[in-house]
A = this chain, B = another copy of it.
Amino acid sequence: MTNTEEYSRAEQTRARLFSAALTAFSDHGFHGTTTRDIASAAGMSPAALYVHHKSKEELLYLISKGGHEQVLDTVRTTIASAEGSGARLAAVVRALVVHHARAHTGSRVVNYELTSLSDEHLAEVLDVRRRIDAEIRHLVEQGVAEGAFDTPDPHMASVALLSLSIDISRWYRDGGSWSPEGIADFYADLALRMVGYRRG
C-alpha cells in the first residue's frame, strides 16, 4: 500500500467519478448521460470509469443508495434529538427541507432516476425508502396517540409530509430568493398545521 494520505489516489478518483456522474445524471438523466460525459467531467478517459466501477448503472446505484441512507440517517438522528411530537415533527421537516434544497442536484437523481436501476439494486433502495416512510409514519401516529396531533389519516398525512419535502428537489434552484433555511422554517410550520398540532 502506498496510502500514506488519508485518502488513496483510487479513492479520490472514485469520488471524482461519483460527483461527475451525480451532476450529469441530474442535468440530463441517467439515459441522457454517456460514460464519456462522466469520464471527461472527471478529467479522465472513458475506460478509467471501468477501472473503478463495474458499470454506469453501478454509479447510479451508489448515488441512489447513499442518498437514501443519508436521508434515513438524518431523519433518525433528528427524531432522537428532539423531545415531544410537535418539536420532533418540526425538526424532521426542517432537516428534510434543508437537505432536499441544499442537495437538490443529488436528490433529483435519488428520487427521479430509480427506474433505471437494476431489479436487485432497485429492491435495495426501495427497502431504505420504506424505512424512511416508516419513521415519518410512526412519528405522526405517535403524535395522534398522544393527542398532540389531529388528522383523519395519519398514514396519508405522513405521505404528504414526505412528498412535500421531496418535491423541493424538483423546483428548488440555487440563487433564488428563498434560502433552504427560509423554506425550512415555513415548511416546519406548514407541517404542524397539516397534522393539526395543538400546543400541549
Interface residues of A (CB under 8 A from B): 27-32, 111-112, 115-116, 152-153, 156-157, 159-160, 163-164, 166-168, 170-171, 178, 183, 186-187, 189-190, 193-194, 196
Contacts and interface: CB of A to CB of B under 8 A. Distances in A.
11 contacts: A27-B115, A29-B32, A29-B116, A30-B31, A30-B32, A32-B116, A112-B112, A157-B186, A160-B190, A163-B171, A167-B167
Contacts of A111: 170
Contacts of A178: 156
A186 B153 contact: yes
A163 B163 CA distance: 8
Contacts of A167: 163-164, 166-167, 170
A200 to B, nearest CB: 18
A29 B115 contact: yes
Contact of A193 (B166, B168, B194): B194
Nearest to A192: B193
Contacts of A189: 152
A199 B3 CA distance: 68
B159 A112 contact: no
Closest 4 CB pairs of A and B: A31-B31, A31-B32, A167-B167, A163-B167
